[in-house]
Amino acid sequence: MLSVPYTRATLDNGLDVIVHEDHRMPLVAVNVWYHVGSKNEQPGRTGLAHLFEHLMFEGSAHQPDGYFGPLQEAGAALNGSTSPDRTNYWQLVPAGALRLALWMEADRMGWLLPALTQARLDTQRGVVLNERRQSYENRPYGLASFTLMSAMFPPSHPYHWPTIGEPADLEAATLEDVQAFFARYYHPGNASLVIAGDVETRAVLREVEELYGGIPAGEPVLPVETPEAASAPRRLVMEDRVELARLYLAWPSPPLFGADDAELDLVSDLLANGRTSRLYSRLIHERRVAVELAAGQTSRELGGTFQIIASAAPGQTLETLEAAIHDEVARFATDGPTDDEVERGRAQAETAFVYRVQALGGFGGKADQLNAYHTYRGEPDAFQVDLDRYLSATRASLREAAARWLAPGRATRLAVMPAGTIETAPGDAERVEGGRA
């Protein structure tokens, strides 16, 4: 039985606090989730959640000089991240530095705005715009994911725009816009705090009450409504500074923890994870129409996407590559996996879960997972429940999931062509530029 015991308490201001004791090492993981991401933004005001990932490290009223210095001097590792669905911050600290970490998280939760100046906003806006240029705009194939999401989801859908935001929206954001976004979402009633490690539960709960209890509760944050379903499939082509033509196929898929979500995770592994996988064996080894490929199920709160990505071998067309992929997926959807493949998929899933609970802090460690299950399921210790979704998969359930979700007519197709070769792309493709479809 895979289980991580915990104690949960809720402060009067709405902050959920989850404590897990682990006395194997004198370390403590502090992990804060705010249930806000880019899906909580609006068209024309995108990128604010990711912008706050940066601003929250810059300082607050009682710690105006930033967060990395004091914590790293105390021996801590720390970081944060933003997704469409949530924002998280974590520190892994020596047990003696726990109060410092808790105090600093409390200060930026309750007293960030007094330190949020126009100069600080302008600086971090520039950092984010530079990050977008380096990580996406100037990276080979970097804008492909933006293009796919904008094509698959209509403009009013919360997954239409990238988490890092649109440059024009970031440039237009005023200090008042940013302050209002913080006040709306970054408060105790929209947050959960996990403390895991070498602690005593009663003592640490008293400390949390002392540090966080006086922070005002914010207005309730209602679940985001999805105004429109995924768009009709499209066939797109874009040009990029790349050497090899690359094909992206993307299908709308179930939301996180929805029916077939776990099955499609396993299907993606069996199709493209490792040299013995279906697509790798068929497309790279046997037919030699591709030189690299990957597949994955991206699970999100409001809906998922299943993607297959493959780079064409020299002399091969993307039409040949696409037909080969659809043939192999159709074979899987008709015949299903073998018994050996199912066992391999289950074993890989179980290994990943066991590995995850060995780490105390950081991205994906026990503290992070307790917060994820609490946020998305209301049940912090859902490790075994989650794992059982994978262990209960069968040949029939995997075959049916592939047949239900991965039909060729449901796929949005993006061809990324080397510069100067776009005229050789399929004639039915719609040309797009700049990461927008």
* pLDDT tens for each residue of 369-400: 999 999 999 999 999 999 999 999 999 999 99
Phi, psi of 293 (to 5 degrees): -160, 165
CATH number of 235-431: 3.30.830.10
Q: Where are the domains of the chain?
A: 7-212, 235-431
The C-alpha atoms of residue 150 and residue 116 are separated, in whole angstroms, by 32
Question: CB count, 10 Å around CB of 289?
Answer: 21
Confidence of residue 435 (pLDDT cuts 50, 70, 90): confident
Chain-centroid distance, C-alpha 419: 30
The C-alpha atoms of residue 233 and residue 315 are separated, in whole angstroms, by 28
3 class by beta-carbon count within 10 Å (0-12 exposed, 13-18 middle, 19+ buried): exposed
Q: Has residue 111 got a pLDDT over 90?
A: yes
- The chain-wide mean pLDDT, for the chain, equals 95
> How confident is the model over 112-119, as a mean pLDDT?
96
CATH number of 7-212: 3.30.830.10
What pLDDT is attached to residue 390? 98
> How confident is the model over 217-231, as a mean pLDDT?
85
Side-chain-side CA neighbours of 415 within 13 Å: the count stands at 25
Question: CB count, 10 Å around CB of 409?
Answer: 8
The C-alpha atoms of residue 105 and residue 91 are separated, in whole angstroms, by 10
The C-alpha atoms of residue 277 and residue 344 are separated, in whole angstroms, by 11
Q: Has residue 291 got a pLDDT over 90?
A: yes
Residue 346 · residue 390 · CB < 8 Å: yes
Report strand pairing: 304-312 vs 246-253: antiparallel
